[in-house]
Structure 1
Amino acid sequence: MHTAFGREFDVPDGYLNTASIGVPPTCAADAVAAAVESWRRGTARAPDFDPAVTAGRAAFADLVGVPAERVAIGASVSALIGLVAAALPAGARVLVAEGEFTSVSFPFAAQTARGVSVVECPLEMIGTRAPEFDLVAVSVVQSADGRTVDLDALRAARTAGTRVVLDATQSLGWLPADLGWADAVACVGYKWLLCPRGVAWLALGPDLAAPDGGDPQRDGYGRALDGFRVLPHHACWYAGGDVWGSIYGLPLRLADSARRFDASPAWFSHVGAGAVLPWLAGLDRGAVREHCVGLADAVRGGLGLPAAGSAIVAVDRPGAPDRLAAAGVAGSLRAGAVRLSFHLYNTAGDVDRVLDALA
């Protein structure tokens, strides 16, 4: 059992696989177990899960830097980004990073049959090339190797009129950054946010979150993609203005906020999110980054690599997968390298374990 940032984690030494599956604090796992027990005994009631959904939504909004009214819930990044991709008009030009996680790029590539074009470029050139395109879709931190995108360059491109869609899955939870300026920020919860799989969120810019599509000039946005409007393609009862008054019959009566894009919640996943996200949002985010990045950079330094300012380390050395596995290090193979990720519950002992295995 490890204690980190005021919470207990039942995580083994050498667990460096948060970029694949985060380990929850015991209090969050206990909350999910209690909800499952209530279900098993037939005492669960559907409205009982609403407070957890609300708490998770509000904490996610805090982490991103937007009002909760601009956040929708879903189950996966690809489905939420797909709402944005489906809204693009024919002829829209989209830029993505080479080797981007496909939950970001595939939703846009799937629109090419109706005239949307998608171009790849090296991550390091995304900011420079962004003004050439109508929309840029990119992960804040790359899944395969932990490289970070130039957010300042993207924000400048956004001011000039290029729409920006961000996937914060590999950054939110350890990298403090104001992302509220982006048109859309999607994130799944089961990695760095330490939630059960089955919950994700989408924060939308003010013009996209408005029921009528908003006014880009009024909202301080450029004129790229005039008429660009996200539609609630998976509209459901939970997206209603009055959730429990929207379960039968027409007319359509969706929420005026981004809740109208909600998918029906996976209850137990939201119980976990409601237990852990408010705690994460309340931590000293600078201290969290210093802890996670400090451990990762210690590994880089021990391997003769330069500091990178990322909590993810890609180890590409002969025999590394077998040697690390034999030493009890849990990581993932990604793009031909062993991906190691350092989170709240990791310690200097994990750094020593990696360096000893690769010495």
Structure 2
Amino acid sequence: MDMWDPQPGWLNTASYGLPPRPAWEALQAALADWRIGATSWEPWDESTTRARESFARLVGADAADVFVGSTVSAAVAPIANALPDGAKVLTDSVEFTSNVFPWQVHADRGVQVVAVPSEELVAAVTPGIDVVAVSAVQSSTGDVLDLPAVVAASKQIGALVVLDATQAVGWHPLTVDGVDALVAHSYKWLMSPRGATFGYLSPRLQERCRPSAAGWYAARDVHGSYYGPVMELDPGARRFDQSPAWFSFVGAAPALELVEQIGVDTINRHNLELANEFRAGLGLEPSNSAIVSTELPGAQEAFAAAGIRAAVRDGKLRASFHIYTTRADVQQALSAVKPLI
């Protein structure tokens, strides 16, 4: 793909994605204008609308049900705040803590978080569970959630499904069908600057949640709500907006639109082909994930010596493969660890 400029050996999109040229160039132009005061901020903010609409299309949502912010944990907080005392939340034992801590901080009012291994999650969706809070793709292991099974089990008992899709949107096809909330940061597989988070809230969940972080940007008339005590919030999910970090969204809009243009199914095929080529070279079975996590003593040092940038998570080597990854990257990585296999 000639839209990116990766230095060979980048196998760490699960930590952060590399910006496509249109995103990088849009960000540089905005920074140049900021430096000399060439424009007001409103043109930068138009990117927030573009990015919101692009994200909505990517997950099959109505843009009116999508809110923007800066972090996953802040996006989950209004949902956790709306839980009744004594509610029980089910999560994965390796769940990234941005989708765990916002629930756990309510322990003083009896909210309980129950964590089970990934393979036991669906079976643990039983009466008494009020929320299933889980990642569509796990950060540490790369495990892909059986989302239809989770949705079906949750519907049977009336539990909410709150999905962290940070490691999924951009390469793994999914929609908000049957999901009450879907939150994703865009700086990984959506290849945007850190600071642009998107969240879907179902209309029924919007009614249950208080927009406790509401500010001027959450108003029906943004530009008419700078001062004073008169509050008229947006009737849709935008009332949960946090005032956006402008430059993050300037970079996010072109990146998300490029993902749309290429197509998530196309990206998925590319990523899985390379990830499974890497797995085969390690003697592992094929998988449905763009993230490969494996115990391989000495691999971190071997990668570093060969100029391969990957990660170690939960004691395991984690390599991740995206649209700008090439077969040459895979072969370089396999050559680096070949003496260890």
TM range (shorter): over 0.9
* Corresponding pairs, count: 336
TM-score (norm 1): 0.92
**Shift of residue 283 of structure 1?**
2.4
Q: Residue type of the partner of 1:155?
A: V
Q: Could you tell me which of 105, 125, 150 is aligned with 2:100?
A: 105
Determine if contact 1:145/1:312 at 8 Å carries over to the other structure: yes
Determine if contact 1:128/1:153 at 8 Å carries over to the other structure: no
- 1:1-359 paired onto structure 2 within 5 Å: 4=1, 7-132=2-127, 133-160=129-156, 161-209=158-206, 213=207, 229-359=208-338
- Rounded to whole Å, the distance in 2 between the matches of 1:303 and 1:260 is 49
Find the residue that maps to 1:69 and give its secondary structure: helix
Find the residue that maps to 2:293 and give its secondary structure: strand
- Rounded to whole Å, the distance in 2 between the matches of 1:76 and 1:139 is 15
Question: Which moves more between the two structures, 70-79 or 283-292?
Answer: 283-292
Find the residue that maps to 2:154 and give its secondary structure: helix
**Shift of residue 154 of structure 1?**
1.1
Shift in alpha-carbon separation, 1:344–1:179, aligned structure 2, 3 A = same
Determine if contact 1:187/1:200 at 8 Å carries over to the other structure: yes
Q: Residue type of the partner of 1:251?
A: V
Q: Residue type of the partner of 1:180?
A: D
Segments of 4+ moved more than 3 angstroms: none
**Shift of residue 44 of structure 1?**
2.6
Q: Residue type of the partner of 2:79?
A: V
Q: Residue type of the partner of 2:197?
A: A
Residues 43-85 of structure 1 show CA distances to partners (whole Å, capped at 9, x for unaligned) of 1312112320001000111111110000000000011011111
TM-score (norm 2): 0.96
Residues 98-138 of structure 1 show CA distances to partners (whole Å, capped at 9, x for unaligned) of 02100011110111111111111111111121133111100
Determine if contact 1:96/1:121 at 8 Å carries over to the other structure: yes
Determine if contact 1:180/1:205 at 8 Å carries over to the other structure: no
Overall identity of the aligned pairs, in %? 44
- Rounded to whole Å, the distance in 2 between the matches of 1:115 and 1:101 is 22
Residues 305-328 of structure 1 show CA distances to partners (whole Å, capped at 9, x for unaligned) of 011110001131111100011111
Determine if contact 1:60/1:281 at 8 Å carries over to the other structure: no
Find the residue that maps to 1:145 and give its secondary structure: coil
Partner residue in 2 for 1:224:
none
Residues 162-185 of structure 1 show CA distances to partners (whole Å, capped at 9, x for unaligned) of 110000000110001123321100
Q: Residue type of the partner of 1:310?
A: S
Determine if contact 1:35/1:44 at 8 Å carries over to the other structure: no
Find the residue that maps to 1:260 and give its secondary structure: helix
Find the residue that maps to 2:121 and give its secondary structure: helix
Question: Which moves more between the two structures, 154-163 or 285-294?
Answer: 154-163
Unaligned runs of 5+ residues in structure 2 are none
Q: Residue type of the partner of 1:123?
A: S
